């Protein structure tokens, strides 16, 4: 096994990947593990960031700014063990709810709500009809997990945009 540290992938093709100055590494299976970073706009706006993400306070505000909230992939918050929560749609949506509450509260001079993440589980797609995951305290795999993943996606669309968004963007099969 050879590790190629610090080598950027330029292109992914049906036959493998292209790295560096055009060198091709042939492979039938390519696994992407690229991490998520915040939008460069956040750095350009002058916020102090960690990989482009702002360490927000317990109310989801940018440090030193009482009137700026940052949620989703552009924010970073830590679990009780001091490790950052991974940037996921699940946490972004929960932050959205707290942020909306806090925006209204700050306009009305009411107390702000601390953000608390409630982990509902994790399901990862492994291709068509295949997935693995943990939800409701149980492990799932294969077709059942794949259906669970679809259900989660549809629920996500429903919460954001109701039935019209589900019908417009939802993938049922
Ligand atoms: C390949 C992939 C698979 C993933 N799978 C999962 C998964 O299975 N489960 C899960 O929970 N999470 C998953 N995630 C992570 C999840 O998508 C993100 O954590 C989530 O979307 C973050 O929400 P967000 O609102 O912060 O950002 P986004 O959903 O990325 O929304 C940001 C929006 O801002 C817009 N925008 C960007 N720049 C500007 C600008 N300058 N002006 C105006 N608008 C702008 C973008 O177009 C976009 O619509 C996955 C991510 C990737 C890349």
Counting DSSP H helices and E strands in the chain, the numbers are: 3, 8
Mean pLDDT of 112-139: 92
Query: What is the structure's pLDDT at 10?
Result: 93
Residues 25-57: tens digit of each pLDDT: 999 988 888 778 899 999 999 999 998 999 999
Percent pLDDT > 90 in the chain is: 76
pTM: 0.84
Residue 21 has pLDDT above 90, yes or no: no
Residue ranges, comma separated, of all CATH 3.50.50.60 domains in the chain are 40-107
Cα 72-81-137 angle, rounded to 5 deg: 75
68 in contact with ligand 1, CB cutoff 6 A:
no
Percent pLDDT > 70 in the chain is: 100
Query: What is the structure's pLDDT at 139?
Result: 96
111 alpha carbon to ligand 1 midpoint, in Å? 29
Query: What is the structure's pLDDT at 20?
Result: 86
Mean pLDDT of 119-139: 91
Q: With contact defined as beta carbons under 8 Å apart, do 47 and 62 qualify?
A: yes
23 alpha carbon to ligand 1 midpoint, in Å? 31
Fold of 40-107: FAD/NAD(P)-binding domain (3.50.50)
Tell me whether strands 54-55 and 9-13 are parallel, antiparallel or unpaired: unpaired
90 in contact with ligand 1, CB cutoff 6 A:
yes
133 in contact with ligand 1, CB cutoff 6 A:
no
Site of tokens 């794949």: 146
Atom from ligand 1 closest to the CA of residue 89: 11
């Amino acid at each position: 096994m050879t590790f190629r540290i610090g080598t950027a992938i330029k292109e992914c093709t049906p036959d493998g990947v292209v790295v560096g100055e055009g060198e091709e590494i042939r492979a039938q299976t390519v696994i992407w593990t690229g991490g998520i970073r915040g939008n460069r706009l956040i750095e350009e706006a002058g916020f102090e960031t960690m990989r482009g993400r702002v360490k927000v306070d317990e109310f989801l505000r940018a440090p030193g700014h009482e009137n700026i909230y940052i949620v989703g992939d552009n924010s970073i918050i830590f679990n009780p063990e001091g490790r950052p929560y991974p940037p996921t749609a699940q946490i972004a949506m929960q932050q959205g709810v707290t942020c909306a509450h806090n925006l209204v509260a700050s306009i009305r001079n009411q107390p702000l709500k601390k953000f608390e993440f409630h982990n509902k589980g994790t399901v990862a797609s492994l291709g068509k009809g295949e997935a693995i995951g943990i939800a409701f305290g149980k492990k799932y795999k294969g077709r059942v997990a794949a259906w669970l993943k679809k259900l989660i996606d549809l629920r996500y669309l429903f919460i954001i945009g109701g039935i019209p968004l589900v019908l417009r963007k939802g993938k049922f099969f």
